[in-house]
Amino acid sequence: MESSKSPVEPHLFTRLLKEKVWGGTQLSAALGLDLPFDGPLGETWELSDYPGEETLVRGGSMDGVSLRTLMEDHQEQILGRSQPSADGRFPLLVKFIDAGDDLSVQIHPPDGPKSPTGVGKTEAWYILDHDPGAVVICGLNEGTSKEVFENEAGSKRVRNHLAEVEVQRGDCVFVPAGQTHAIRTGVVLCEVQQTSDVTYRMYDWDRLGLDGKPRETHLQQALEVVDYDLGAAQPTRADFESGDGLRRSDLAECDYFRLHALKVGTEGGVLNTDGFAHTLAVVGGVGRVESCDNSFSARDLVYGDSVLLPGALDCVRLIGEGDEGMEILMGVAL
* Catalytic residue IDs: 201
**Distance in angstroms (rounded) separating the CA atoms of residues 137 and 182:** 5
CA 302 to chain centre: 17
Residue 81 carries which DSSP code?
T
Task: Give the helix ranges, DSSP H, for 119-256.
Answer: 146-152, 219-225
Decide if 236 contacts 252 (C-beta within 8 A).
Answer: yes
**Distance in angstroms (rounded) separating the CA atoms of residues 296 and 294:** 6
Residue 92: which of 232, 284, 279, 328 has the closest Cα? 279
Task: Give the helix ranges, DSSP H, for 134-282.
Answer: 146-152, 219-225
How far from 197 is each of 35, 52, 138, 160, 333, CA to CA, in Å? 22, 11, 18, 27, 18
Q: Tell me the longest C-alpha to C-alpha distance in the chain.
A: 62
Q: Give φ, ψ of 7 to 5 degrees.
A: -90, 5
Q: Helix count (H) and strand count (E) of the chain? A: 4, 23
Q: Give φ, ψ of 111 to 5 degrees.
A: -55, 145
DSSP helix/strand/coil, 202:
strand
